[in-house]
């Protein structure tokens, strides 16, 4: 209702309760007057969406350009939003809305987030930890397991970032690291398998060249300095869109090779990673401690206890 009637920008501000506080403005201060006039123009544009004649009439009046009228208009919109919510809700949601009351219409969304979302402390902390670990496929598993569908995996991580953004209060999103694109990119790079190292390097080289062309005197001085910037400077973290495009492109190229090898009954990627990823050969190695393909007993991904022996282990290994 809010976005359809008021347009995307103002509609979202009404729903998120982020409209400017009219009581803050002192129109005798030039800067305040400038931002207030800009806000009024924006309100005129949104009103013109549904009734341009009425909007034009108001635009010419003095009262439209007063903080008192704009404050009253805001209150009317929040009451309308509250009544719309009450009209479409039922059950516990309706009870909560009625209990919250029309007098608190501005904070109805925040109330529902607190009451019904799973953004409780324990749940948030569990998901934060799993997110930084790359949302592994299983406990003790890998963020990007062998032959991982990169498109689905990145979509999964994006969805989790969206969850954190929606759960976080709007005024805290700029400092909450789980809302940040840089956190997502750094986490992805940290957990990527080795076959994507060249892809990440290519993207980072593009960032470096872009900085050089923009006149950044610190870029391209020495390899050692560039590496320090890449490791410790947030300005050198690649934009998510660029790293995603490069990773998906590399994945699709490798997938072609994997599919071709599968038809030839030898599905082996061009680059392999020991210690948890498939090994070269027509068949993968099997851990003699847990019986799972793709790693050996000494690898960190193995969940077996020191004395565990897989029932299918070779006799020579059991007696050794």
* pLDDT bucket at 232, cuts 50 / 70 / 90: low
- Angstrom distances, CA of residue 95 to CA of 101, 115, 118, 182: 10, 12, 19, 40
Look at 224 and 106; give whichever has higher pLDDT: 106
pLDDT of the residue at 274: 44
| pLDDT recorded at residue 71 | 94
How many angstroms separate the Cα of 76 from the Cα of each of 35, 79, 82? 22, 5, 10
Domain-ending residue, one of 214, 232, 263: 263
Do 277 and 250 have their domain in common?
no
How confident is residue 227, by pLDDT bands cut at 50, 70 and 90?
low
Is there a contact between 59 and 73 (Cβ–Cβ < 8 Å)? no
- Say yes or no: 248 and 284 in one domain: no
10 and 77 part of one domain: yes
Do 125 and 259 have their domain in common? yes
- In the structure, what pLDDT confidence band is assigned to residue 123 with cuts at 50, 70 and 90? confident
Same-domain pairing of 7 and 82:
yes
For position 13, what pLDDT does the model report? 84
Backbone angles phi, psi at 214, to 5 degrees: -85, 0
217 with 245, same domain? yes
**Same domain, residue pair 140 and 257:** yes
How much is the pLDDT for 281? Answer: 46
Region of poorest pLDDT, from 36-40, 143-147, 233-237, 267-271: 267-271
pLDDT in tens, 10-44: 888 888 888 889 988 999 999 999 999 999 999 99
CA–CA dist 101, 95 (Å, integer)? 10
Q: What pLDDT, on the 0 to 100 scale, is given for residue 138?
A: 85
**pLDDT class of 293 with cuts at 50, 70, 90:** confident
Model pLDDT, residue 171:
79
- Residue 90: the pLDDT is 87
Using CA of residue 294, residue 298, residue 299, residue 304, what is the dihedral sign?
Answer: positive
Domain boundary among 61, 85, 116: 116
Q: In which domain, by residue range, is 281 found?
A: 272-320
Number of domains in the chain: 3
Whether 135 and 215 share a structural domain: yes
Say yes or no: 96 and 134 in one domain. Answer: no
Q: CA–CA separation, 195 vs 300, rounded Å?
A: 19
Identify whether residues 66 and 170 lie together within a single domain. no
How many Cα atoms within 13 Å fall on the side-chain side of residue 313? 18
Could you read off the pLDDT of 58-115 as tens digits, one per residue? Answer: 999 999 999 999 999 999 999 988 898 888 888 888 898 888 888 888 888 888 877 7
- Whether 48 and 104 map to the same domain: the answer is yes
Domain-ending residue, one of 223, 245, 263? 263
Q: How confident is the model over 169-218, as pLDDT tens digits? A: 777 888 999 999 999 999 999 999 999 999 998 998 888 888 778 877 67
How confident is residue 280, by pLDDT bands cut at 50, 70 and 90?
Answer: very low
Q: What percent of the chain has pLDDT over 70?
A: 81
User: In this structure, are 16 and 71 located in the same domain?
Assistant: yes
Q: What is the mean pLDDT of residues 143-147?
A: 90
Q: Could you tell me the pTM of the whole model?
A: 0.54
Quick one: pLDDT at residue 273? 44
pLDDT, mean over the chain: 81
State pLDDT tens for residues 263-272.
665 444 444 4
Alpha-carbon distances, residue 127 vs 133, 178, 317 (angstroms): 10, 10, 40
Q: What does the pLDDT average to over 262-289?
A: 54
The two three-digit tokens of residue 179, written as one number: 């809302």
């Amino acid at each position: 209702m809010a976005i359809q009637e008021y347009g995307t920008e103002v509609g979202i501000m009404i729903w998120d309760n982020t409209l400017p506080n009219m009581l803050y403005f002192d129109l005798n201060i030039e800067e305040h007057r400038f931002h207030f006039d800009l806000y009024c123009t924006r309100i005129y544009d949104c009103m013109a969406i549904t009734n341009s004649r009425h909007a034009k009439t108001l635009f010419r009046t003095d009262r439209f350009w007063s903080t008192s009228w704009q404050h009253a208009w805001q209150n009317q919109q929040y009451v309308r939003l509250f009544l719309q919510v009450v009209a479409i809700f039922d059950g516990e949601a309706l009870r909560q809305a009625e209990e919250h009351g029309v007098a608190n219409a501005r904070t109805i969304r925040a109330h529902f987030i607190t009451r019904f979302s799973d953004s409780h402390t324990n749940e948030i902390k569990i998901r934060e930890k799993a997110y930084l670990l790359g949302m592994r496929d299983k406990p003790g598993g890998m963020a990007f397991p062998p032959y991982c569908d990169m498109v689905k995996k990145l979509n999964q991580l994006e969805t989790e970032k969206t969850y954190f953004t929606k759960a976080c209060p709007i005024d805290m999103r700029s400092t909450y690291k789980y809302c940040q694109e840089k956190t997502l990119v750094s986490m992805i790079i940290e957990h990527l398998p080795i076959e994507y190292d060249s892809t990440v390097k290519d993207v980072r080289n593009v960032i470096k060249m872009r900085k050089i062309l923009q006149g950044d005197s610190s870029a391209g001085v020495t390899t050692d300095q560039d590496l320090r910037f890449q490791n410790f400077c947030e300005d050198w973290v690649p934009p998510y869109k660029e790293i995603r495009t490069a990773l998906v492109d590399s994945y699709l190229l490798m997938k072609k090779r994997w599919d071709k090898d599968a038809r030839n009954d030898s599905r082996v990627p061009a680059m392999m990673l020991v210690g948890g990823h498939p090994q070269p050969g027509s068949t993968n190695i099997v851990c003699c401690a847990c019986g799972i393909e793709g790693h050996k007993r000494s690898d960190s991904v193995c969940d077996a206890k020191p004395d565990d022996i897989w029932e299918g282990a070779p006799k020579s290994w059991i007696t050794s």
